[in-house]
Amino acid sequence: MTATATAPAPVLLFARARTTAADERVYLGKLALLALLTCLGAVLALSPSPVAAVAGVLLLAAMYTHAVELQHQALHHSAFTKSWPHRLVGVPLGLPLFVVYSHYRVRHLQHHRALGTPDDTEFFGFDTRKPLTFGLLARGLFDYPRLVSVLWEVVQSALGRWTYRYGDISPKMRRKVVQEHLILGFVVLAAVGLSVAGFGKYVLLLWVLPLIAAVPMHFLVELPEHILCDTETTDVLRNTRSIRGGRLSTWFTNGNNLHIEHHAAMSVPINQLPSRHEEVKQFATHVERTYADFYAKLWQQLRG
């Protein structure tokens, strides 16, 4: 009897890995750089020079976007060797962009479990399963209604009426989500109070304008993950995209460009993912070299 050859399969891609002290140091370094660049953005935004002020606002928008990508790693508990620091760090990382950590965690982990099924509920509500049109992309790009809906959930939390709309949630997790909505509400009220007290310029330049710019910026970071992929399969090698990118894009997205690698083993520290990319290039369907390559492909699809 002749033996049949088995098809090659990824070896490293789906392997689990624990967060080490070295991984933790890498993440802490990213937080330190975020803090440094955010301070620089604030100084520039408050500059009397209009050019410097615009540059500062855009830098703050970029840092608020980057902070959510760092928050994404925290919600997977792959940043620290212990679990408790993740919420401590994750909550403030999402505040500038109105991203409530525990709510994001519940829905995003559900997204990982249900990707490729009708139960998929990604937190940032762009549905890649819908027909691709300019109108749909524009609504995602300028999704300011999401900010209003988050504020409404803050009100619901304050009234004790907040509920999770996408399935079951434990009482403990519900309490965390409600608490974090209330923290966001307190921050928003503090900003309103500062504005009323005559410090509106600082609120405008350091939060409102960067937030307006960060909404489309964050959308462009998130968009490549699953769009134009096979949304009818649970096979991560076909329903997700990776972009090799360079050091800058990998840092800015906190490794979210290597999205197949992340979905294949979501608890693996982000800084360990690049070593798995060779297998992705060998076995996966949707792999791009750069973000420019992806957006060129998207443009052709829209025109086509």
The domain segmentation of the chain, as residue ranges, is: 21-303
CB 31 within 8 Å of CB 70: yes
Residue 1 clears pLDDT 60, i.e. is over it: no
CB-CB contact of 243 with 53 (8 Å): no
**Two structure tokens written together for 248:** 């800058």
Cα–Cα distance, 167 to 117 (Å, whole number)? 14
If DSSP codes are grouped into helix, strand and coil, which group holds residue 159?
coil
Question: What amino acid is encoded at 169 in this protein?
Answer: I
Rounded mean pLDDT, 187-195:
98
- If one counts every other C-beta atom within 10 angstroms of the C-beta of residue 208, the result is 13
pLDDT above 90: percentage of residues in the chain: 86
Residue 2 has pLDDT above 50, yes or no: no
* Alpha-carbon gap, residue 139 to 133, rounded angstroms: 10
CA atoms in the 13 A half-sphere facing the CB of 126: 27
Report whether pLDDT(283) > 50: yes
For 48-65, how does the pLDDT look when each residue is reduced to its tens digit (9 = 90+)?
Answer: 999 999 999 999 999 999
| Residue 171 dihedral angles phi and psi, to the nearest 5° | -55, -40
Q: What is the DSSP letter of 196?
A: I
Per DSSP, 258 falls in state B
